[in-house]
Amino acid sequence: MPAPERLDEVFLAHLRARLAEFDVRALPGVGRRRAAVTLTLVEEGTGADIPGLACSAPPWSEAPALLLTRRSAGMRAHAGQWALPGGRIDEGEAPEEAARRELQEEVGLEVGADAVLGRLDDYATRSGYVITPVLVWAPAARDLVANAAEVASMHRLPLSELRRADAPLLNTVRGAEHPVLRMPVGSAWIAAPTAAFLYQFREWCLFGRPTRVAHFDQPFFAWQ
């Protein structure tokens, strides 16, 4: 579809239709821990605050964006890395419930079950998790509060940035059977697994191209 100018009912209907058609591929969790992350659709606001990516003109932009975070430097695992809000699925929780809970705990954004649009494919990480990505519709989300113990900073990544012609970035690393996937943002880049979810969202939800991402690998720094 054409690049959406704003988060409106037309774009929401488009996303619902795309996700209703999507054949989600789940992965078995035997021997792995399970987690969920949110691909949260929000307004771009005052900009992504990412190196090389210009901010929107003040005071506020209603252009669509995805909510990203940088993990706190004090985290025991994956400190300082780009991430989507999310975390471990508790006993008895569905991925959608865990995604909504983690969204509230990490960035102070509380949404109801009706804000959940659907899922994309699971991704198994080198660190022993199976992660389920859940799409959430939360347009304005203007009063976010980062949990300092988990989140160093919050960023609104414009969907226009996902359409870049140089995405994705693929390279090989020793010991990996498949290419490592990265997504360029501004003058920086984001690695899988976060990049895998961003790429599949781009390919299916924005371009309508069936694309699988579970086979893509992660760079060495994300293996632990």
Residue extents of the structural domains in the chain: 9-161
Q: Compute the half-sphere exposure of residue 142: CA atoms within 13 Å on the CB side of its CA.
A: 7
The CA-based angle 33-154-78, given to 5 degrees, is: 35
Unique residue bearing structure tokens 């990544």: 157
Which neighbouring-strand residues pair with 43? 64
Alpha helices in the chain (DSSP H): 9-21, 95-107, 159-162, 194-200
Tokens standing for 123? 């991704």
Of the candidates 140, 143, 34, the residue with the CA atom closest to the CA atom of residue 92 = 34
**What would the two tokens of residue 72 be?**
């706190």
Cβ atoms of 41 and 141 closer than 8 Å: no
Work out the angle at residue 56's Cα, subtended by the Cα atoms of residues 65 and 86, and round it to the nearest 5 degrees: 30
How far is 94 from 92, CA to CA, in rounded Å?
7
Kindly provide the b/e burial profile for residues 102-115, where b requires at least 16 CB atoms within 10 angstroms of the residue's own CB.
Answer: bbebbbebebeeeb
Residue closest to 1 by CA, chosen among 31, 10, 9: 10
32: region left, alpha or beta (phi > 0 left; psi from -120 to 50 alpha) = beta
Instruction: Report d(CA 141, CA 103) in Å as an integer.
Output: 11
What are the counts of helices (DSSP H) followed by strands (DSSP E) for the chain? 4, 11
User: What DSSP character marks residue 217?
Assistant: B
Domain 9-161, CATH class in plain words? alpha beta
Predicted local distance difference test score (pLDDT) of residue 178: 85
Instruction: State the 10-residue block means of pLDDT for the chain, 224 residues long.
Output: 82 96 93 94 84 68 90 64 93 96 96 97 93 95 89 91 94 81 92 96 97 89 62
Nearest-angstrom CA–CA distance, 126 and 224: 7
Residue matched to tokens 């991925």: 95
